[in-house]
Structure 1
Amino acid sequence: MKSVGAGSEQAAREDLAAAYRLIARFGMDDLIHTHVSARLPAEPDLLLINRYGDLFREVSPESLLVIDHDGNQVRGTQAPVNTAGVVIHTAIHAARPDAMCVAHTHTVAGVAVSCLEEGLLPLNQTALLFHGRLSYHAFEGIALDRDEQARLVADLGANNAMILRNHGLLTVGRTVGEAFSLMYGLEQACRIQLAAQASGARLLMPPESVQARTAGQYAADPDGSAELEWLALRRLADMPF
């Protein structure tokens, strides 16, 4: 997705709240756990994140909290913030100036693939979106310790998607829409892989040359599909479910 210029805090709130509701709609939420964060356009050292205790389908632009990189809520009525969310998200936002949004999930498919030694396989078109662009981070326990942050950032590197071993999925976007789109794609790739493996049949892998070519086609996005996708998803987020 093409990066867009800096917008208002309200626009960031609306996009981020939509991402939360879309994660719930597509079955990628985990009760009140996991998190999506967005950098404030005019205040890059501050982040928007959900109020710990809200279901993702309940998140609204107004309910989002503003926190600093130490996890302190800097304005508004004080509310709980998930410690693991602070540790994971502030580390990536601080290290990656391009990280306008960071998404993290604990889906059945994502966690299952994170537990497989081979990780994500290049089995299909969707998985090839991540060919050569997917990182892995070893499980160290619940992400409550700030000394894990340096290793988390080092493992992510310049990539925009990472599988947290024995834990879940993480994506980074230059916009909220990009982070969500990558998360949706990574989740779908995991679901497809598990379905193929469950068949018990031999798995057919595309040749390496085709894998690389497909990844390049995704990166070029000649039809501007990423922008169109987010516009459509924003409309979906506002529909009742």
Structure 2
Amino acid sequence: MASAAQQPDMTPQEWEARQQLAACYRIFDHMGWSELIYNHITLRVPGEDNAFLINPFGLGYQEVTASNLVKIDIEGQVLDGSPYPVNRAGFTQHSVFHRHLPDAHCIIHTHTTAGMAVSACAEGVRPISFYAAAFAGQIAYHDFEGVTIRPEEGERLIANLGDKRVMILRNHGTLVMAASLPEAFLKHWSLQRACEIQVAAGAAGTPVDIPAEVIAVHQRDLAGVQLPVGPGVPDFQAMVRVIDRIDSSWKQ
């Protein structure tokens, strides 16, 4: 959906990606998943393997719009003349995945209370709930090395991720990636629910792990309850309608 803010030399595909990503930032703010001006959701620019969109450093998620997102390449060079800086930690972490993983079109890193709490626990995500069972055997772990600004940590991030696309950054937070933004959104939402439930269950009593054979059936059958429009698409669209009723300025 184009608007007057679209630049003349911008492809319709890039503008659509910008609006989708801006909506996602507004949704995260609405859900309470923002962290002042920090953390990042990045999205590869369609048709440009070496370029991705990132939030302008210094703005809150509620201020992000399609036109003020910053387009950078995997070397960190600003490609769209944006006046905004880019958070060095966000670039370092996200660029390594965009560079080495062709399927990582959207990457989400957050510091939610529940996500950070679980990341600080030795056992990580336990298979104690509907949501956690969906992630059993699919989560990678990376030990905390301090703020992510050193390029050499990228090699260890890639090695620890392996063939998985969800990672717990120990003592730090969560990281998810996917071939589309709606799919990454749904992964993050589900992981966040798993972490919230684990924290609540630990406070309520003694959590009980779901048996491995039940997890296998659960993971096998999950696809049978999804609409045939792509993973996360109806979920994301529903939330776009919510934030659009609140404030539609993200489109500009």
- Judge same fold: TM > 0.5, yes or no: yes
Cα distance in 1 between the residues matched to 2:55 and 2:234: 26
Q: Indicate if the aligned counterparts of 2:116 and 2:172 stay in contact, CA closer than 8 A.
A: yes
Give 1:84's aligned amino acid: A
The equivalences for 1:1-241 within 5 A come to: 8-199=13-204, 201-219=205-223, 221-224=225-228, 226-240=232-246
Shift in alpha-carbon separation, 1:111–1:238, aligned structure 2, 3 A: same
SS of the residue 1:8 aligns to: helix
Give 1:150's aligned amino acid: E
SS of the residue 2:245 aligns to: coil
Cα distance in 2 between the residues matched to 1:160 and 1:220: 21
Cα distance in 1 between the residues matched to 2:86 and 2:66: 16
Cα distance in 2 between the residues matched to 1:171 and 1:153: 13
Shift in alpha-carbon separation, 1:227–1:79, aligned structure 2, 3 A: closer
Shift in alpha-carbon separation, 1:30–1:75, aligned structure 2, 3 A: same
Q: CA deviation at 1:226?
A: 2.9
Deviations 1:7-26 (A, max 9, x none): 70011111111111111111
Q: Greater shift after overlay, 144-153 or 212-221?
A: 212-221
Q: Which runs of 5+ in 2 are unaligned?
A: 1-11, 248-252
Q: CA deviation at 1:222?
A: 4.5
TM-score by length of 1: 0.93
Deviations 1:82-135 (A, max 9, x none): 001101100001111011100000011111100000000000101122111111
Give percent identity, aligned residues only.
Answer: 38
Give 2:219's aligned amino acid: A
Give 1:223's aligned amino acid: L
Cα distance in 2 between the residues matched to 1:75 and 1:230: 27
Q: CA deviation at 1:202?
A: 2.3
Give 1:76's aligned amino acid: G
Q: CA deviation at 1:191?
A: 0.5
Cα distance in 2 between the residues matched to 1:62 and 1:221: 36
Cα distance in 2 between the residues matched to 1:45 and 1:185: 29
Q: Indicate if the aligned counterparts of 2:19 and 2:66 stay in contact, CA closer than 8 A.
A: yes
Cα distance in 2 between the residues matched to 1:155 and 1:35: 20
Q: Indicate if the aligned counterparts of 2:177 and 2:184 stay in contact, CA closer than 8 A.
A: yes
Q: Indicate if the aligned counterparts of 2:184 and 2:232 stay in contact, CA closer than 8 A.
A: no
Give 1:211's aligned amino acid: I
TM-score by length of 2: 0.89
Give 2:245's aligned amino acid: M
Q: CA deviation at 1:237?
A: 2.8
Cα distance in 2 between the residues matched to 1:156 and 1:86: 18
Q: Indicate if the aligned counterparts of 2:92 and 2:151 stay in contact, CA closer than 8 A.
A: yes
Q: What residue number does 1:4 align with?
A: none
Q: Which runs of 4+ in 1 moved over 4 A?
A: 219-222
Cα distance in 2 between the residues matched to 1:221 and 1:65: 36
Q: CA deviation at 1:231?
A: 1.9
Cα distance in 2 between the residues matched to 1:220 and 1:153: 31
